[in-house]
Amino acid sequence: MTFRTKLVLWYSSLLVGIVVLVGAAVFAVVRWTLINSIDDTLEETAREVIANIYEGPGVLAEFGGAQTLIVPMPELDIFRASNVYVQAWDSVQDGTPRLAASSDNLADFRTALDFAAVGKPQTQYSDVLIHGTEVRVLSQPVFFGDRLFGTIQVGASLETLNQATERLIGIMAVSLGIAVIGSVALGMWLSSRALKPIENITEAATKIANADDLSTRLPWDGPQDELGRLISVFNNMMERLEDLFKVQQRFVADVSHELRTPLTSVRGNLDLIKRYGMDTESLEAIESETHRMTRMVEDLLLLAKADYGGLTLELEPLDLDTVFSEVYRDAWVLAKDRRLEIKISDFEPVRVMGHGDRIKQLLLNLIGNAIKFTPDDGRITLSLQRVGNHAIIVVQDTGIGIAPEDLEHIFDRFYQADESRARMSDGESAGLGLAIAQWIVDAHGGTIRAESQPGRGSRFIVTLPVLQDDAPQIDYDDEADMDGGRYPRRSRNFAVGK
């Protein structure tokens, strides 16, 4: 059973239930109102008859043997309509009731309207069946003093009431049928209209599954209700999936390329060894490419573990300036075959909560990038400062720079900004270094950003929270960064060049 059918059945069942309850309530109220109206007529008629007994001629009972109730019975029209019946019963000494008088429309009817109620000392209503006609009967006792003297019975036919209620039931049954048919039709139309966006989502999902078309979007010009938000979420999800799919395609292409190049080199060198025998250059090339593939696989595993939460860092108090000094020495090792000037412009002791190895990896990734993309005779400047409750690390170079359109993507995995940067890396970069740097900074509760202009170099700025102690007073100089900001006045300034 489809959801639409269930929705229509629920809606129709609810509507039918409401109509039945309302109809039953209306029927009960109408019948109760009509019965009350008849009862009022019977009570009024009985009062008039009893009043006539007390005040009219023949009020006194005749004595001589059994005591007899004499009731003068005026024309029936004096009381009510022609469907009102009146009987007067008196009680004789032996307790057997006797019909003392009756209305003209009961001239041939000598039986009590409700024999069980004659002679009873309390007023009561009853419904009796007389010659196939249902009659509503009021039995009213008559007292002289404290003695029950007789009973007045007033009856009215319920035939008209029953006919009216039967017609009401028929009308309600027809209305219920119309309501059911209308509710089913209306439910189908409403459900079709309401579920149309969901059907569109289903069709779009089917189209995606069959055609691998992630560019599908659902148009929506309605209000931002539940369906509007659902479609908005679906479109955002599709946009996200499309981006992820593109990243995956690029990831596969880049990994294939990155692995194909070292594998080709390894295979070529192995062929040379097979042909000409073992030589040192071939072994060194194989070792270099093997190390390259190992680094790339390790980086991929690191990011994969970070993605699913399988990698956590245990942070501890760390002298950031000590790690900074070690990285500075390692930078010269990385740049041993290049003509580059590497200097430290600012250096302050700073303590943070951090992971020493990961902080070192972060800095080496940034410095490694600076070395790769800075031509010979260029300059790389490092600085470590404390500003308030944050440690500021800056790695700046005079390299080729990054285009503005590429700047926001440089922390994406396997992202290669442009051909010129790819050539500068000489195939050594897999595009994972900055992604790892981003993760390390996030794990330390810090931020990382890049500033760059093509042809003028790049600046990477890392901000990390320091241990909570008294912050030193910082004097600012007038040097502006690429965005016009200011940094503290340098406390130490020394450079080492090659």
Q: 449 CB contacts (<8 Å, ≥6 apart)?
A: 460, 461
Strand-pairing partners, residue 84, are 156
Closest CA to 89 of 58, 64, 120: 120
The rounded distance, in Å, linking the Cα atoms of 428 and 430 is 7
Say how far apart CA 367 and CA 255 lie, in whole Å: 23
Residue 182 is predicted with a pLDDT of 83
Check if the beta carbon of residue 324 is closer than 8 Å to that of residue 384. Answer: yes
Enter the tokens of residue 69: 């109730």
Residue 189: Cβ within 10 Å count: 11
Residue whose C-alpha is closest to residue 433's, from 330, 332, 296, 326: 296
Cα→Cα distances 292→218, 342, 417, 432, Å: 45, 25, 20, 12
Instruction: Provide the pLDDT for residue 78.
Output: 56
Going residue by residue through the chain (498 aa), what tens digit of pLDDT does each one get?
Answer: 676 777 778 878 888 888 889 888 988 998 899 899 888 988 888 888 877 765 444 443 433 334 455 555 555 445 545 578 888 887 655 667 778 777 777 777 888 888 888 888 889 999 988 888 888 999 988 887 777 778 888 988 888 888 888 898 888 888 888 888 888 888 788 777 777 777 777 777 777 777 667 777 777 777 777 777 887 888 888 888 887 777 667 666 666 766 777 788 888 888 888 888 888 888 888 888 888 788 777 777 777 677 656 677 888 999 999 999 999 999 988 888 888 999 999 999 999 999 998 899 899 999 988 998 999 999 999 999 999 999 999 999 999 999 888 888 888 876 766 555 454 554 455 567 888 899 899 999 999 999 998 988 999 999 999 987 644 444 444 443 444 333 444 433 333 343
What are the DSSP calls for 254-290, one per residue? HHHHHHHHHHHHHHHHHHHHHHH---HHHHHHHHHHH
Q: Pull the structure tokens for residue 357.
A: 């190895």
Annotate 426-443 with three-state secondary structure. CCCCCCCHHHHHHHHHHH
Tokens of 59: 């009020």
Structure tokens at 367: 């410095």
The third-level CATH classification (topology) of the domain covering 3-163 is Beta-Lactamase (3.30.450)
Classify residue 435 as exposed, middle or buried by CB count within 10 Å of its CB (0-12, 13-18, 19+).
Answer: buried
* Domain residue ranges of the chain, discontinuous segments joined by +: 3-163, 226-307, 316-497
What pLDDT sits at residue 62? 39
Cβ distance 127 to 136 under 8 Å? Answer: yes
* DSSP-assigned letters across all residues of 444-498: TT-EEEEEEETTTEEEEEEEEEBPSSPPPP--EEEEE-TTS-EEEPPS--EEEE-
Return the pLDDT at 77.
47
Cα 98-100-103 angle, rounded to 5 deg: 125
Domain boundaries 226-307, corresponding CATH code: 1.10.287.130
Domain 316-497's class? alpha beta
- pLDDT given at position 247: 65
Q: What was the pLDDT predicted at 64? A: 35
The total of other beta-carbon atoms located within 10 Å of residue 342's CB is 24
Q: What is the pLDDT of residue 471?
A: 46
Give, in order, the Cα–Cα distances in Å from 326 to each of 361, 428, 447: 11, 23, 22
DSSP for 95-111, written as a single string: S-EEEEEE-GGGTT--S
> How many residues belong to the chain?
498
**DSSP letter for each residue of 31-80:** HHHHHHHHHHHHHHHHHHHHHHHHHSTT-SPB-SSS-B-------GGGTS
475-484 long-range Cβ contacts below 8 angstroms, 24+ apart: 481/451, 482/451, 482/452, 482/453, 483/451
